[in-house]
Amino acid sequence: MVSIFKNKTILSLFIFIALLFSSLSYYIYASAEDDFSQFVSLSGDVFPENYQFILKHSGLYKSYEEQGSFEQLGDSLMSEFHMPQSESLIDSGHLVYQSEVELDSGTNLVVRLAGIENEKITYLTLILESDQHSLGSLSTDKTQIETVLEILNIQTNWNTMLQGKYSNHSDDDFNDLWKSLNNKLQLNEIETYTDERTVSTSFYSSKLNSEILSGSNRMNLQVALHQNSINDEWQLTIGSPIITIEY
């Protein structure tokens, strides 16, 4: 499963980034199914080997007063999602309530509620993850989750992501990857970050519906290639409108 932030520094950074993106100038909630379908189509063409398809919703939820009311929120939330109830715990000084379940073979759901102590508000994260063999059930599970979110008066805010091993790592292979993505999505490059083991580029594509505006730039796709420092294997991550998982 996608790794859950475990230490104080990373958790604090996570909350900061979450609040940052929740305060961006705008987020267009267009037909998410269109983007989902495009990523399903894209996945088999781009990844030569096994990959994960990840849908992540995140946003502010409800306020709480103390740990007891926080746990009640968590219990109620898990009941709505038909998830096993858990207990709240203190993770690096933050209240956390989390439950995880396998919905279908190869498809997993994590529901995580985190308390932001200063504001007495909760932050809800849902991670729906499937391998490439379970994309049919993933679509059904996604629809069911969206129905629950609608009942809870929560507007769905999916980040759609693909992640997997990428063994084609020569310069020519990378160029072919960019060309393939460009042919399918008609990309306009916004900016690129590089270091010794990472290349991360953000794009805008008129083919995708959801988008964010950060500063003066519209963007809705991020592509990152990262080389593992231990085994030197390359990992490819593609996200829309932005990557919100570790890479």
pLDDT band at 11; cut points 50, 70, 90 = very low
Q: For residues 243 and 216, which has the higher predicted lDDT (pLDDT)?
A: 243
Tell which wins on pLDDT, 223 or 230.
223
Residue 21 has pLDDT above 50, yes or no: no
Q: What is the rounded distance in angstroms from the CA atom of residue 100 to the CA atom of residue 152? A: 19
CA separation for the pair 27, 32 (Å, rounded): 12
pLDDT at residue 93 tops 50: yes
- Segment of 7-11, 64-68, 90-94, 213-217 carrying the highest mean pLDDT: 64-68
Say what the pLDDT of residue 28 is: 42
**pLDDT exceeds cutoff 80 at 44:** no
Residue 115 CA to residue 117 CA, distance in Å, equals 6
Q: How confident is the model at residue 130, as a pLDDT?
A: 94
Query: Quick one: average pLDDT of 115-121?
Result: 90
Average pLDDT, the chain: 83
Span 8-240: which CATH code? 3.30.2030.10
The order of strands in the sheet holding 221-227 is 89-91, 94-104, 107-116, 121-131, 51-63, 158-165, 234-240, 221-227, 198-205, 187-194
Least confident of 4-18, 80-94, 114-128: 4-18
Taking CA atoms, 33 is separated from 30, 57, 175, 202, 242, in Å, by 9, 14, 29, 22, 17
Task: Enumerate the domain spans of the chain.
Answer: 8-240
Looking at the chain, the whole-number percentage of residues with pLDDT higher than 70 is 83
Position with higher pLDDT, 25 vs 68: 68
Q: Which residues pair with 214 in a beta bridge?
A: 217
pLDDT above 60: residue 240 = yes
pLDDT, one tens digit per residue, over 165-192 is 887 666 667 777 878 888 889 999 999 9
List the beta strands (DSSP E) in 80-197: 89-91, 94-104, 107-116, 121-131, 158-165, 187-194
Residue 3 per-residue DSSP state: P
